[in-house]
């Protein structure tokens, strides 16, 4: 009988979900940016690359940055979990440490992806990063598809989905922050949409085109699009409802508050509230993630013996 789940496993599952989502979203963002930059007649590479760094929360340093450096640091750097390769590596090791809780197919998906990356990285040096980014997107989709079809809807599954949802909100908020807080350096709205994989869904809802602040409304408030902040928050909240305490849940509270706020937000007032709202969303995600850690995986460091009297 396996009706309980180890804290350590729960933590590994949450972060597996988060890191795979991070790799996926980072890949989408890089793809949209690269495409835009090649086609933008008035591009300034340095400025565009800096806004990318800002989105992904990485320090760009004082020197001029170009696309190659962006790829080296944000895609190919295996040591940083802010890069695609680092995130996938961390997801793989987390899944390995929870090897008995994730299905074999999920583990193999991550493992084979990790091993396939090196070849694609070499090819990317020659022919550009498109195939690399595509591999990442496809495998992330495969991973979550396998989670969906091979895991029971038990707590293990909820932790994976919780991790993914929190990361989604975080990434969407990051994308929008750069646009809203500093429009001069930011990508256009259309690029934001394709970076969220939302261009076609948006066109269907608004029957129009992305160069309007309505994109912000869509990415935050749309009820049906799975990458919108509202949708991801709702999913996270559902997971926490099933996982946590029925009331006074410090992990669910920040999420639930923000979800309600988004749900009843007057969309006319969105534009002026946007900067504050984005900040609050970011904090809510962080607070919730910290509360989840405290609640479900109280940290136990590796045992160290101290010499008495030393």
Partner 1 sequence: MADIFDAYALADAWDEMFVRPGEVRTAYEPVLAALQPIEPSELRFRADQMARAFTDRGVTYAFAGEERPWPLDLVPRIIDALEWDLIQRGVAQRVRALEAYLSDAYSHCRAFEDGVVPWRLLLNSAHFHRSAQGVEPPGGVRIHVAGIDLVRDEAGELRVLEDNVRVPSGVSYVIENRRAMTRIFPSLFAEQHVVPVDGYAGRLLAALRAAAPAGTQDPRVVVLTPGPGNAAYFEHALLARLMGVQLVVGHDLTCRNNRVWMRTTRGEVPVHVVYRRLDDDFLDPLHFRPDSVIGCPGIMNAAQAGNVTLANAVGNGIADDKLLYTYVPDLIRYYLSEEPILPNVESYRPDEPGQLEAVLDQIDQLVIKPVDGAGGQGIVIGPKADAKTLERTRKAVAADPRGWIAQRPVALSTSPTLAGERMAPRHIDLRPFAVNDGTDVWVLPGGLTRVALQEGNLIVNSSQGGGSKDTWVLAEGPTEQPATLTPDGELPEVAPRQLGPDGNPAVVQEGAQQQ
| Contacting residues toward partner 1, per CB under 8 A | 11-12, 14-15, 18-19, 34-35, 38-44, 47, 50-51, 53-57, 60, 81-82, 86, 89-90, 92-94, 96-97, 126-128, 130-131, 170, 174, 177-178, 181-182, 184-185, 190, 200, 202-209, 282-283, 286, 289, 302
Q: Which CB atom, from 263 or from 290, has the smaller least distance to partner 1?
A: 290
Q: Considering the complex, what minimum distance in angstroms separates the CB of residue 38 from partner 1?
A: 4
Describe the chain by its helix, strand, coil percentages, rounded to 5: 70, 0, 30
d(CA 81, CA 79): 7
Q: Considering the complex, what minimum distance in angstroms separates the CB of residue 173 from partner 1?
A: 9
Cβ burial of 116 (10 Å; 0-12, 13-18, 19+) is middle
Cβ burial of 298 (10 Å; 0-12, 13-18, 19+) is exposed
Q: Considering the complex, what minimum distance in angstroms separates the CB of residue 81 from partner 1?
A: 6
Q: Which CB atom, from 6 or from 38, has the smaller least distance to partner 1?
A: 38
d(CA 43, CA 222): 31
Half-sphere exposure of 239 toward its Cβ, with a 13 Å CA cutoff?
26
Q: Could you tell me if 165 and 239 are in contact, meaning their C-beta atoms sit under 8 angstroms apart?
A: yes
Q: Which CB atom, from 144 or from 218, has the smaller least distance to partner 1?
A: 218
How many Cβ atoms sit within 10 Å of the Cβ of residue 263? 12
Q: Considering the complex, what minimum distance in angstroms separates the CB of residue 255 from partner 1?
A: 15
d(CA 98, CA 90): 12
Q: Could you tell me if 91 and 20 are in contact, meaning their C-beta atoms sit under 8 angstroms apart?
A: yes
Q: Which CB atom, from 97 or from 241, has the smaller least distance to partner 1?
A: 97
Q: Which CB atom, from 147 or from 285, has the smaller least distance to partner 1?
A: 285
Q: Considering the complex, what minimum distance in angstroms separates the CB of residue 264 from partner 1?
A: 25
Query: What are the Cα distances from residue 261, in Å, to 153, 181, 255?
Result: 28, 21, 10
Spell 39-75 as b/e; 16+ CB within 10 A means b: eeeeeeeeebbbbbbbbbebebeeeebebeebbebbb
d(CA 235, CA 238): 5
Q: Considering the complex, what minimum distance in angstroms separates the CB of residue 42 from partner 1?
A: 4
Dihedral sign computed on CA atoms, order 283, 284, 289, 293: positive
Q: Which CB atom, from 184 or from 306, has the smaller least distance to partner 1?
A: 184
Q: Which CB atom, from 81 or from 264, has the smaller least distance to partner 1?
A: 81
Q: Which CB atom, from 8 or from 223, has the smaller least distance to partner 1?
A: 8
Q: Considering the complex, what minimum distance in angstroms separates the CB of residue 35 from partner 1?
A: 6
Q: Which CB atom, from 55 or from 262, has the smaller least distance to partner 1?
A: 55
Q: Considering the complex, what minimum distance in angstroms separates the CB of residue 246 from partner 1?
A: 26
């Amino acid at each position: 009988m396996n009706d309980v789940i180890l804290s350590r496993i729960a933590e590994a599952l949450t972060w597996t979900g988060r890191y795979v989502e991070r790799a996926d979203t980072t890949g989408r963002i890089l793809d949209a940016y690269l495409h835009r930059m090649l086609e933008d007649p008035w591009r300034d590479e340095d400025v565009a690359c800096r806004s990318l760094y800002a989105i992904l929360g990485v320090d760009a340093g004082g020197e001029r940055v170009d696309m190659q450096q962006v790829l080296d640091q944000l895609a190919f750097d295996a040591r940083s979990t802010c890069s695609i390769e680092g995130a996938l590596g961390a997801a793989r090791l987390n899944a390995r440490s929870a090897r008995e809780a994730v299905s074999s197919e999920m583990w193999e998906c991550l493992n084979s992806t990790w091993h396939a990356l090196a070849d694609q990285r070499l090819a990317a040096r020659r022919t550009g990063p498109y195939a690399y980014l595509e591999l990442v997107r496809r495998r992330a989709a495969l991973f979550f598809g396998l989670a969906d079809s091979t895991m029971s809807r038990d707590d293990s599954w909820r932790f994976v989905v919780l991790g993914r949802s929190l990361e989604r909100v975080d990434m969407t908020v990051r994308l929008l922050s750069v646009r809203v807080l500093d429009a001069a350096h930011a990508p256009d709205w259309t690029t934001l949409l394709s970076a969220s994989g939302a261009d076609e869904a948006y066109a269907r809802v608004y029957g129009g085109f992305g160069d309007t602040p309505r994109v912000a409304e869509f990415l935050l408030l749309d009820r049906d699009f799975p990458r919108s902040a509202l949708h991801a928050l709702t999913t996270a909240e559902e997971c926490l409802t099933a996982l946590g305490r029925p009331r006074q849940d410090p992990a669910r509270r920040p999420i639930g508050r923000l979800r309600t706020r988004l749900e009843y937000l007057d969309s006319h007032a969105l534009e002026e509230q946007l900067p504050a709202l984005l900040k609050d969303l970011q904090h809510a995600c962080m607070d919730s993630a910290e509360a989840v850690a405290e609640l479900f995986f109280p940290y136990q460091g590796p045992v160290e013996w101290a010499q008495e009297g030393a």
